[in-house]
Amino acid sequence: MMAGLLFARAGCKVQVLEKHADFFRDFRGDTVHPSTLELLRELGLLDEFLKRPHDEVRKLTGRVANEQIVIADMSHLPVQSRFVALMPQWEFLDFLAQEASHYPNFNLKMEAEATDLLLENDRVVGLRLSSGEEIRARLTIAADGRSSVLRDKAHFPRKDLGAPIDVLWFRLPKEKTAANETGGTFGAGAMIVEIDRGDYWQCAYVVPKGAAEAIKAKGIDAFRKEVAHAAPELAPVVGTLKDWDQVKLLSVSLDRLTRWWRPGLLAIGDAAHAMSPVGGVGINLAVQDAVAAANILAGPLAAGRDVDPLLKKVQERRLFPTRVVQAVQKAVHDRVLTPLVVRKIVLDKVPWPLRLFQRLPFLSRIPARLVGLGVRREHIRSPDAGLRR
């Protein structure tokens, strides 16, 4: 959606395709980080964006062995918005779609599922929808997520980094509080992230990869007890989980393509590199890919030039940040999640690296920088053709 907005702003005729009928679904992730907020500011859209319902989180905290620890403190970042905006992803997508709709050359087509690529002389010239309709394009961008059909159809080679976890995703009621209380509980051989969405918790209960079926087989009552044990503060409300329809399995993967492009086609976002939930950075990395793609391609495309020779530059630009973030995610998978969630090690005291964060609070500025702004941050450089109505 971000790529669609930027290419339309640069004067290209854009068609964004979405297979679902609406955005109102449980997407993975609610975190709009300072890096993305800065991009919205550069586009002059930040004030409008912040009018949408959201919460602002300046410190990311976790409860480890019953102690509250500040893991990332955003309040010193060198940007205007020194916070993570917690906004359900449907709201963010709807915002971008609304902004893009101001461009007469932008069109969003819902219930349009891409099923195949159209090829001519081995060049991608568009795609086919499940309805049989063919859409031709000078450039096709595969932004269809971690289960991308298009990346498979393009035969892009992929490196799987493995992920030891999946996530069970469910809601539990909560009292509204003045401050957003999003946080996580690590310990008791389990991990649960609680996203504060006002009058309910959006809970992400981390389980070993492939374990969901066995957990379900034990029954909902056993699951309620497990959740209450992992996060005792949720014990009074777990009773509202009545059946498995309320619990969704979100499958986690960590991989990347070793080639993101071929003539006529470019993969970005999770389609190019599926991200783990660790750090809540995937949405923001996908947005940065979209900005880089527009910076490199939108001007030449709008001017009618052949952009095939430029496609590799997008991969060259974005591979480094992808590698860095995935290396950190993999380290957290191996050193934190596997011991806690897979081997079920019980934390009875705060591990020493986290103890350091408690003693030297300025250390929490380092993860804040990595998570909040990332590496090789993009800025809006693509042209504005002045077509906005």
By CB under 6 A, name the binding residues for ligand FAD. Answer: 17-20, 28-31, 113-114, 143-146, 149, 167, 250, 252, 269-271, 275, 277, 280-284, 286
Least CB distance to ligand FAD at residue 332 (A): 13
Nearer to ligand FAD, 295 or 326 (CB): 326
For ligand FAD, give the closer residue by CB, 43 or 143: 143
Q: How far is the CB of 233 from ligand FAD (least distance, A)?
A: 20
Q: Dig out the tokens for 90 from the structure.
A: 């449907």
270 close to 146: Cβ distance less than 8 angstroms: yes
Which C-beta is closer to ligand FAD: that of 125 or that of 143?
143
- Tokens coding 86: 């917690």
Residues 6+ positions from 250 with CB-CB distance below 8 Å: 28, 166, 167, 168, 169, 204
Alpha helix (H) ranges present in 200-263?
212-217, 220-230
- Of the two residues 149 and 297, which places its CB atom closer to ligand FAD in the complex? 149
Question: Would you say 117 or 363 has its CB closer to ligand FAD?
Answer: 117
Shortest Å, Cβ 174 to ligand FAD: 18
Minimum CB–partner distance for residue 331 and ligand FAD (Å): 17
- Distances in Å between the Cα of 238 and the Cα atoms of 118, 193, 217, 228, 242 are 49, 15, 18, 7, 9
Which residue is nearest to ligand FAD, using beta carbons? 282
- On whether the CB atoms of residues 255 and 158 are closer than 8 A, the answer is yes
Beta bridge partners of 49: none
Say if residues 376 and 295 touch (Cβ distance below 8 Å): no
Q: Quick check: helix, strand or coil at residue 303? A: coil
Nearest-approach distance from CB 113 to ligand FAD, in angstroms:
4
Of residues 337, 321, 330, 333, the one with CA closest to residue 371: 321
Q: Which is closer to ligand FAD, CB of 55 or CB of 270?
A: 270
Q: Which is nearer to ligand FAD, 144 or 226 (CB)?
A: 144
Largest Cα–Cα separation, the chain: 63
Place of tokens 């955003």: 74
Smallest separation (angstroms) from ligand FAD to the CB of 86: 9
Least distance CB 25 / ligand FAD (angstroms) = 8
**Closest distance to ligand FAD from the beta carbon of 298 (Å):** 18
Q: Which uninterrupted H or E stretch holds 160?
A: strand 158-160
- Give the integer Cα–Cα distance in Å for 283 and 297: 21
Q: Give the angle subtended at the CA of 209 by the CAs of 349 and 206, to the nearest 5°.
A: 45
Closer CB to ligand FAD, 30 or 99, in the complex? 30
CB 320 within 8 A of CB 376: yes
Q: How many CB atoms lie within 10 A of CB 162?
A: 11
